[in-house]
Chains A and B, each alone.
Chain A
Amino acid sequence: MAGAVEPYLDSLRRELQSPGPASLSVLLALLVVALTFLLWRLAQGARSTRRAVLLLGLCDAGKTLLFARLLTGRYRDTQTSITDSSAVYRVSNDKGTNVTLIDLPGHESLRLQFLERFKAAARAIVFVVDSVAFQREVKDVAEFLYQVLVDSTVLKNAPALLIACNKQGIDNTLRVTRSAAPTSLDASATGGPAQLGKKGKDFDFSQLPMKVEFVECSARGSKGEEGDADFEDLEKWLAKIA
Chain B
Amino acid sequence: MLDFFTIFSKGGLVLWCFQGVRGPASAATAPVNALIRSVLLQERGGNNSFTHEALTLKYKLDNQFELVFVVGFQKILTLTYVDKLIDDVHKEFRDKYRNEFQQKGALGILNGTFDFKDDFLRLLREAEESSKVRAPTVMKTFEQSVKSQKTVKCMIETRGEKPKEKVKNKKNKGSKKEGNEAVTASNKTAPGEKQSSAAGDKEELTKDEILQKNREEFFKRHMKAGEKSSKSPKPDAQKEKGKKPRVWDLGNSNAKVLDYSNSTTNGNSEASPMEDFDPDMALRDRNREPGRLYDLEYESDEEAEEEKIIQNASKPSTKKGGLGGMFGMLKGLVGSKSLTRQDMDPVLEKMKDHLIAKNVAAEIAVQLCESVAKKLEGKVMGTFTTVTSTVKQALQEALVQILQPQRRVDVLRDVMDAQRHRRPYVVTFCGVNGVGKSTNLAKISFWLIENGFSVLIAACDTFRAGAVEQLRTHTRRLNALHPPESHGGRTMVQLYEKGYGKDAAGIAMEAISYARNQGFDVVLVDTAGRMQDNAPLMTALAKLIAVNAPDLVLFVGEALVGNEAVDQLVKFNKALADHSMAQTPRLIDGIVLTKFDTIDDKVGAAISMTYITSKPIVFVGTGQTYCDLRSLNAKAVVAALMKA
Judge if B41 is at the interface, Cβ distance under 8 Å. yes
Judge if A107 is at the interface, Cβ distance under 8 Å. yes
Residue of B nearest to A43 (CB): B316
Judge if B10 is at the interface, Cβ distance under 8 Å. yes
Judge if A23 is at the interface, Cβ distance under 8 Å. no
Residues 98-129 of chain A: 1 if any B CB is under 8 Å from the residue's CB, otherwise 0?
A: 00000101011110110011001000000000
**A-B contact number at CB 8 A:** 112
* Distance between Cα atoms of A52 and B13 in the complex (Å): 20
Judge if A78 is at the interface, Cβ distance under 8 Å. yes
Judge if A38 is at the interface, Cβ distance under 8 Å. no
Shortest CB–CB separation between residue A226 and chain B, in angstroms? Answer: 14
List of A residues within 8 angstroms of B408 by Cβ: 108, 143
* Distance between Cα atoms of A188 and B406 in the complex (Å): 18
For window 52-104 of chain A, which residues contact chain B by CB distance below 8 Å? 64, 67-68, 71-72, 76-88, 103
List of A residues within 8 angstroms of B26 by Cβ: 77
Judge if A139 is at the interface, Cβ distance under 8 Å. yes
B413 lies within 8 A of A139 (CB): yes
Residue of B nearest to A116 (CB): B311
A87 lies within 8 A of B410 (CB): no
Judge if A193 is at the interface, Cβ distance under 8 Å. yes
B416 lies within 8 A of A80 (CB): no
Residue of A nearest to B407 (CB): A108
Judge if A187 is at the interface, Cβ distance under 8 Å. yes
Interface size range on B against A: 35 or more
User: Which one, B8, B33, B41, B106, contacts A86 given CB within 8 A?
Assistant: B106
Judge if A190 is at the interface, Cβ distance under 8 Å. yes
Interface residue stretch chosen among B397-405, B492-500, B501-509, B517-525: B397-405
**Contact A82 B13, CB 8 Å, known A72-B110, A191-B413:** no
For window 559-588 of chain B, which residues contact chain A by CB distance below 8 Å? none
Judge if A41 is at the interface, Cβ distance under 8 Å. no
Judge if A236 is at the interface, Cβ distance under 8 Å. no
Shortest CB–CB separation between residue A104 and chain B, in angstroms? Answer: 10
A109 lies within 8 A of B41 (CB): yes
A79 lies within 8 A of B407 (CB): no
Residues 3-26 of chain B: 1 if any A CB is under 8 Å from the residue's CB, otherwise 0?
A: 000101111111001000000001
Residue of A nearest to B402 (CB): A109
Residues 117-152 of chain A: 1 if any B CB is under 8 Å from the residue's CB, otherwise 0?
A: 100100000000000000000010001000000000
Interface size range on A against B: 35 or more
Residues 53-68 of chain B: 1 if any A CB is under 8 Å from the residue's CB, otherwise 0?
A: 0000000000000101
* Distance between Cα atoms of A71 and B10 in the complex (Å): 18
User: Which one, A71, A113, A187, contacts B400 given CB within 8 A?
Assistant: A113
* Distance between Cα atoms of A134 and B408 in the complex (Å): 18
User: Which one, B41, B316, B400, B410, contacts A188 given CB within 8 A?
Assistant: B410
List of B residues within 8 angstroms of A81 by Cβ: 10-12
Shortest CB–CB separation between residue A105 and chain B, in angstroms? Answer: 7
**Contact A87 B404, CB 8 Å, known A72-B111, A81-B12, A103-B11:** no
For window 298-316 of chain B, which residues contact chain A by CB distance below 8 Å? 311-312, 315-316
Judge if B107 is at the interface, Cβ distance under 8 Å. yes
* Distance between Cα atoms of A103 and B293 in the complex (Å): 33
* Distance between Cα atoms of A139 and B32 in the complex (Å): 26
* Distance between Cα atoms of A67 and B397 in the complex (Å): 25
A88 lies within 8 A of B12 (CB): no
Judge if A47 is at the interface, Cβ distance under 8 Å. yes
Shortest CB–CB separation between residue B368 and chain A, in angstroms? Answer: 14
* Distance between Cα atoms of A85 and B407 in the complex (Å): 24
* Distance between Cα atoms of A116 and B10 in the complex (Å): 19
List of A residues within 8 angstroms of B400 by Cβ: 113
List of B residues within 8 angstroms of A120 by Cβ: 312
List of A residues within 8 angstroms of B105 by Cβ: 85-88
List of A residues within 8 angstroms of B9 by Cβ: 85
B36 lies within 8 A of A79 (CB): yes
List of B residues within 8 angstroms of A139 by Cβ: 413
Judge if B487 is at the interface, Cβ distance under 8 Å. no
B107 lies within 8 A of A88 (CB): yes
Shortest CB–CB separation between residue B472 and chain A, in angstroms? Answer: 30
B107 lies within 8 A of A87 (CB): yes
List of A residues within 8 angstroms of B68 by Cβ: 82
Shortest CB–CB separation between residue A138 and chain B, in angstroms? Answer: 11
A83 lies within 8 A of B110 (CB): no
Residue of A nearest to B614 (CB): A109
Judge if B292 is at the interface, Cβ distance under 8 Å. yes
User: Which one, A77, A80, A193, contacts B37 given CB within 8 A?
Assistant: A80
* Distance between Cα atoms of A143 and B37 in the complex (Å): 20
Judge if B380 is at the interface, Cβ distance under 8 Å. no
For window 166-207 of chain A, which residues contact chain B by CB distance below 8 Å? 187-188, 190-191, 193
Q: Which 8 A-B pairs have the closest CB atoms?
A: A85-B11, A81-B12, A77-B14, A64-B12, A85-B106, A87-B105, A83-B10, A87-B106
Besides A79-B12, A85-B109, A117-B311, 8 other A-B contacts (C-beta < 8 A): A77-B14, A80-B12, A84-B11, A86-B106, A103-B11, A108-B407, A113-B401, A139-B413
Provide 13 A-B residue pairs closer than 8 Å at the C-beta atoms, listed in order of the A residue.
A79-B33, A82-B36, A82-B40, A84-B11, A87-B107, A108-B405, A108-B407, A109-B41, A110-B401, A120-B312, A188-B410, A188-B413, A191-B410
